[in-house]
Each structure stands twice: as structure tokens, then as C-alpha cells.
Amino acid sequence: MTSPSQPQRVCFQLQVKPEMLDEYLRRHSPVWPEMLAEIAASGRRNYSLFLGEGGRLTGYYETDDDEAAKAYLAASEVASRWEAEMAPFFVGLEGRPDQAAPALREVFNLHDQLAASATPDTTESTH
């Protein structure tokens, strides 16, 4: 639900092993400064993680090109080290979390729908 002039909005979910929740939170408070710099350099922005009941982790970020951001992080030595340390925290994940986390499909965005409803319908005739 993005247009060429808007960033891609990416949301994903992972399951943190319940017995590892405290350590997962400790590792994110704070994240390594060099990893923060790599995330920003990849083009990901407005990045947030939300922890739900039972270890359900939901992440969200925006980017102009998610494939390019993934490729940048895949080639990053810092991101490789970070992701290797994070992988054991997740249930049923094959591969690096930054590469293998399944994206959720966006089904509604308030901004997009308000913008679309404010655009005059160009298919109607104005006689």
C-alpha cells in the first residue's frame, strides 16, 4: 500500500523464546552504536520493535528500497556479528533475523486512504 513517492513500510513478527526474554531486552538496552549506524546506513528508518505477551515481537521500519537495505545489511560485518548473536533468541527462524523475518502484509494505512479519498475522481465526467 505504498506509492512510488512514499517509503515502503515493513512490519514483521518473530517469536522470542520465553526463557530468553530478559536477556533479549538487556541486549537491546542499548543496541551497539555501530549496529545502530549500520541500520541507518542501510536506509531503514523509523525503526521500532514492540514486545507482546509471551515473547511475540513485532518490528516496523520504513525504507525507500527494502531489497537494497537487506543487501546492505547482509554484506555488513557488524550486522553479521549482531545477527549471529540475536539468532538464538528466536523460535523457528531459519537464517539471520534481519534477512529471514517474515513480513506482514499491510491491509490498511490511514494516511494513504485519507489521501486517496481527498483526490478528485478523474474517471467521472464533468458536464
Sign of the alpha-carbon dihedral angle for 14, 84, 40, 32 = positive
**Whether residue 28 lies in the annotated active site:** yes
Euclidean distance between CA atoms 127 and 108, whole angstroms: 34
Say if residue 50 is exposed, middle or buried (CB neighbours under 10 Å; 0-12, 13-18, 19+): exposed
> Taking Cα atoms as reference points, which of 12, 78, 5 lies closest to residue 40?
78
Look up residue 75 and give its three cell numbers: 554484506
The size of the chain, in residues, is 127
Catalytic residue selected from 17, 23, 28, 116: 28
Catalytic residues: 28
